[in-house]
């Protein structure tokens, strides 16, 4: 692999995943990944443009940012690209009235969306709300539609809580796709539109940007397919096998965000 | 389409799906599909060999047959090919110790199976037991295995209860496949081994056999891929679009089992 100086040359903007990079989450709350609070602060004091890019869909943006601020992170709602607000924009643009299969924590994001007589289904990381009854209701709504539209907030396979690996929305999206014979639209990483909207927000071109995430496929592979570079951190859902993934090779592997920021500050143009 | 006489020539054996062909099921029980009790009786009085071939995995074979007998059907456990007994045989042959994600109603089938220190996961149509917690536990068991083995009792997309369409095991199988990055082994229709074991039980070759089912893919497509002929009944989960399915064309469509048996008795060699 080329030297870091070469791999990081021309980087002007950084997209940061949140869960697994800034913090680990658990049923009872979130805990900082060591060194990440300081790493974010150092990054924001540098000339590099920074944006947070998350698939978090269990919490509203306000709640998510509140939790991170309490952990000590310098972050505001305006700095985050998240799937629920992006979905609401799509629903409004296309006149879609969703049946929601989501976590209660994110419901407030949909407060001003018309949900009468649904003509689509929106699913997110619903956690315990992924009961058979709720899945079956979403399935029935889709089967009753002439042109079924399924929007999924992300398509992650799993994420890591302190208690262990947890099924993410992706499997449930696949279940509904298979049962209904349809293809879902994904809002969130690794959708190119989602990465592009995050880059637009900081005015950085893809070839000048680098993604830092713990998900070899959703973060690293997705960003690379958009023309960005990407680093994988060995925190969060990282598993050793990721460094030998059959399809995706990160532009670099680092122990944690702190090491990634060390390298960025050392090797990108000042 | 050719005349019925031509389509049914040389048929010596009949495989009958149960749910959606003999009866419809609901949360409170099962109801006979009109004419099916008499149709089964007439078929069994004919020279045609008859075997029941079901993906039912919510009930034990004993309970299933008991329900059908109470509805008036002439059926015994020895006449039914069902996925749970077939799975137990595979588990024993391969020294597999399953973690079960199944309906309580079928648990007794696994009474003599070693379930200590699981080295595979078996899922079936678990209904309400497809909670997030249970799915996550199955996922975690698979992720902890070096060579994860997932066995699915059938892979149906959905079935029909009197209250409406219900998600079947197939979607949940897809969810675990995606989350774990693995491919499940299916025991049940449309697995060729499963159809073949049903045919062996009545000593009939595939080209001499016809399947009668309500599932255009699992029953009709699966049987045809084994070299059998197959009729779809317009009962159970049948939907009008099935007659124009992009990939599967039945050898004939009939209103119900009674019509299928009328045709078989009229046109097969006596």
Nearest to A132 among B128, B136, B179 (CB): B128
**Which residue from A minimizes the CA distance to B164?**
A140
Asked whether the beta carbons of residue B140 and residue A165 sit closer than 8 angstroms, the reply is yes
Instruction: Calculate mean pLDDT across residues B28-45.
Output: 95
A99, HSE (Cβ side, Cα atoms, 13 Å) = 20
Strands of chain B (E only): list them.
13-16, 23-26, 29-32, 49-53, 80-81, 98-101, 120-123, 150-153, 158-161, 164-167, 185-187, 209-213, 229-233, 252-254
The pLDDT-based confidence of B25 (bands split at 50, 70, 90) is confident
**Which residue from A minimizes the CA distance to B156?**
A179
Place of tokens 């000590």: A72
Asked whether the beta carbons of residue B174 and residue A177 sit closer than 8 angstroms, the reply is yes
B225, pLDDT greater than 60: yes
| Predicted local distance difference test score (pLDDT) of residue A178 | 98
| Chain A partners within 8 Å of B166 (Cβ) | 136
Between CA B193 and CA B203 the distance in angstroms is 15
DSSP codes joined into one string, chain A: ---HHHHTTT--EEEE--BTTTEEEETTEEEEPTTHHHHHHHHHHSSSEEEEE----SS-HHHHHHHHHHTT----GGGEE-HHHHHHHHHHHHT--EEEE--GGGGGGGTTS--SS-SEEEE---GGG--HHHHHHHHHHHHH-SS--EEEE---SEEEETTEEEE-HHHHHHHHHHHHT--PEEESTT-HHHHHHHHHHHT--GGGEEEEES-IIIIIIHHHHTT-EEEEESSTT--GGGGG-SS---SEEESSHHHHHHHHHHHS--
pLDDT digits (tens, 9 = 90+) for B141-162: 999 999 999 999 999 999 888 8
Q: By C-alpha distance, which of A63, A172, A53 is closest to A121?
A: A172
Nearest to A157 among B130, B133, B179 (CB): B179
DSSP codes joined into one string, B176-221: HHHHHT--PEEESTT-HHHHHHHHHHHT--GGGEEEEES-IIIIII
Instruction: Calculate mean pLDDT across residues B258-270.
Output: 91
Q: How far is A157 from chain B (nearest CA, A)?
A: 4
Centre a 10 Å sphere on the Cβ of residue B202 and count the other Cβ atoms it contains.
17
Question: Domains plus CATH for chain A?
Answer: 1-55+189-268 (3.40.50.1000), 83-187 (3.40.50.1000)
Q: How far is B171 from chain A (nearest CA, A)?
A: 4
In Å, the largest CA–CA distance within chain B is 57
Q: How far is A268 from chain B (nearest CA, A)?
A: 36
Between CA B49 and CA B37 the distance in angstroms is 17
Instruction: Supply the mean pLDDT for chain A.
Output: 96
pLDDT digits (tens, 9 = 90+) for B131-146: 999 999 999 999 999 9
| Chain B partners within 8 Å of A181 (Cβ) | 157
| Chain B partners within 8 Å of A156 (Cβ) | none
Q: What is the CA radius of gyration of chain A?
A: 18
Asked whether the beta carbons of residue A135 and residue B174 sit closer than 8 angstroms, the reply is no
Q: Give me the percent of chain A exceeding a pLDDT of 90.
A: 94
Q: Are strands B150-153 and B185-187 parallel, antiparallel or unpaired?
A: parallel
Q: By C-alpha distance, which of A124, A137, A120 is closest to A85?
A: A124
| Chain B partners within 8 Å of A168 (Cβ) | 179
Nearest to A136 among B133, B167, B179 (CB): B167
What SS3 string covers A16-73?
A: ECCECCCEEEECCEEEECCCHHHHHHHHHHCCCEEEEECCCCCCCHHHHHHHHHHCCC
A221, pLDDT greater than 60: yes
Non-local (6+) Cβ contacts of B107 within 8 A are B100
pLDDT digits (tens, 9 = 90+) for A173-205: 999 999 999 999 999 999 999 999 999 999 999
Q: Please give the distance of CA B225 from its chain centroid, rounded to a whole number.
A: 15
The pLDDT-based confidence of A270 (bands split at 50, 70, 90) is low
pLDDT digits (tens, 9 = 90+) for A84-138: 999 999 999 999 999 999 999 999 999 999 999 999 999 999 999 999 999 999 9
Q: Give me the percent of chain B exceeding a pLDDT of 90.
A: 94
């Amino acid at each position: 692999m080329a030297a870091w100086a070469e791999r990081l040359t021309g980087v002007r903007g950084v997209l940061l995943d949140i869960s697994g990079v800034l913090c680990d989450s658990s049923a009872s709350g979130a805990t900082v990944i060591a060194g990440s609070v300081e790493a974010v602060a150092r990054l924001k004091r540098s000339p590099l443009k920074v944006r947070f890019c998350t698939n978090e869909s269990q919490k509203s943006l306000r709640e998510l940012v509140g939790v991170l601020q309490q952990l000590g992170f310098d972050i505001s709602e305006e700095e985050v690209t998240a799937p629920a607000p992006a979905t609401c924009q799509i629903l409004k643009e296309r006149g879609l009235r969703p049946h929601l299969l989501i976590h209660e924590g994110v419901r407030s994001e949909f407060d001003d969306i018309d949900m009468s007589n649904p003509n689509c289904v929106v699913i997110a990381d619903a956690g315990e709300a992924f009961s058979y009854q709720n899945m079956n209701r979403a399935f029935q709504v889709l089967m009753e539609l002439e042109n079924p539209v399924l929007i999924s907030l992300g398509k992650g396979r799993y994420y890591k809580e302190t208690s262990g690996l947890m099924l993410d929305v992706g499997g449930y999206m696949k279940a509904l796709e298979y049962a209904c014979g349809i293809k879902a639209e994904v809002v969130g990483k690794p959708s190119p539109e989602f990465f592009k909207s995050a880059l637009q927000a900081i005015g950085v071109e893809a070839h000048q940007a680098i993604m830092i995430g713990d998900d070899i496929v959703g973060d690293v592979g997705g960003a690379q397919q958009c023309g960005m570079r990407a680093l994988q951190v060995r925190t969060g859902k990282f598993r050793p096998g990721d460094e030998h993934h059959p399809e995706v090779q990160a532009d670099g592997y680092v122990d944690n965000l702190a090491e990634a920021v060390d390298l960025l500050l050392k090797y990108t143009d000042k």
